[in-house]
Amino acid sequence: MAVTQRGAAIERLASREFDLLVIGGGIVGAGIAATAARAGLAVALVDKGDFGAGTSTASSKLIHGGLRYLRLGDVRLVREALHERRLLTRVVAPHLIRRLPFLFPLYRNGPYGPATIQAGLVLYGAFARSRLHRLASPERARERVPGLRLDGLRSCGVYADATTHDGRLCLANLRAAEEAGSVVLNYRSSTRPGHGSTSCGDSRTPRHCRRFG
Ligand SMILES: Cc1cc2nc3c(=O)[nH]c(=O)nc-3n(C[C@H](O)[C@H](O)[C@H](O)COP(=O)(O)OP(=O)(O)OC[C@H]3O[C@@H](n4cnc5c(N)ncnc54)[C@H](O)[C@@H]3O)c2cc1C
């Protein structure tokens, strides 16, 4: 944020009343602020450090449906995750999501047999509305991954998830929050000194603390 905009944001934070204070500018806080501001609430968001500097820029960067949760029987979770991924990919941030195919080698004496994996992939593919999910022969898989060890390889599961730039996705949500009218400030910590009030101060200069709300 430019210094002049930052000054104006600090001023607004100190002088206005808000319906909602979001503490933390990671992906969760950014998403909440954007959604709440779009719904018409007066929203402020503060982060004691830089935006997205927590786990939201240290993730595996996958937008996945959680194939492994099928093994645990959590079909509802997988279905919901794949539905959200579809929305993210097609509507919310198509410019930030990229399809990522995976190869799942199934070796003799491995924990899973081809029949189990095929059943899981058929279900995962149906929820994802994708036809990629299937088994491939070792030779076919080797064409895609030349370094693949063929010794003991029975078959390979093929499926697709997606990848994103997690930091940019977080910033895109913060921008959306700001465009919808939120006050968004980094390097601003939050404490709750007494009943019914919350104060925010510059976390780089802790002695400077202002009250609002
Ligand atoms: C290795 C790894 C891999 C992952 N892989 C995936 C994946 O593939 N797919 C997936 O969906 N998720 C994945 N996750 C999980 C995902 O990254 C987290 O669920 C997500 O980042 C949590 O976001 P958050 O906003 O809750 O927290 P954070 O990103 O940590 O944000 C919290 C923010 O709050 C701020 N804060 C804390 N206290 C205060 C305070 N008092 N005042 C002001 N600010 C404060 C912090 O500075 C921080 O910026 C992964 C996580 C890890 C670690």
pLDDT by residue for the chain (213 residues), tens digit each?
A: 555 688 999 999 999 999 999 999 999 999 999 999 999 999 999 999 999 999 999 999 999 999 999 999 999 999 999 999 999 999 999 999 999 999 999 999 999 999 999 999 999 999 999 878 889 999 999 999 999 999 999 999 999 999 999 999 999 999 999 999 999 999 987 765 444 556 666 665 433 333 332
28, burial (CB in 10 Å: exposed 0-12, middle 13-18, buried 19+): middle
Q: What does the pLDDT look like over 58-89, one tens digit per residue?
A: 999 999 999 999 999 999 999 999 999 999 99
What is d(CA 83, CA 14) in angstroms, rounded to the nearest whole number? 40
Confidence at residue 81, expressed as pLDDT on a 0 to 100 scale: 96
Confidence at residue 198, expressed as pLDDT on a 0 to 100 scale: 62
Confidence at residue 90, expressed as pLDDT on a 0 to 100 scale: 94
Per-domain residue ranges for the chain? 3-57+167-212, 62-164
Confidence at residue 194, expressed as pLDDT on a 0 to 100 scale: 47
As a CATH number, domain 3-57+167-212 is 3.50.50.60
CB–CB of 181/42 below 8 Å?
yes
Instruction: Give 53's contacts (C-beta < 8 A, 6+ positions apart).
Output: 47
Radius of gyration of the chain (CA): 23
The model carries a pTM of: 0.85
The residue whose CA is least distant from atom 20 of ligand 1 is 56
- Centre of ligand 1 to C-alpha 202, Å, is 21
What is the pairing mode between strands 183-185 and 188-194? Answer: unpaired
- Centre of ligand 1 to C-alpha 155, Å, is 37
The residue whose CA is least distant from atom 15 of ligand 1 is 59
Residue 60 Cβ < 6 Å to ligand 1:
yes
Query: What stretch of H or E contains 75?
Result: helix 75-87
Residue 198 Cβ < 6 Å to ligand 1:
no
Confidence at residue 203, expressed as pLDDT on a 0 to 100 scale: 66
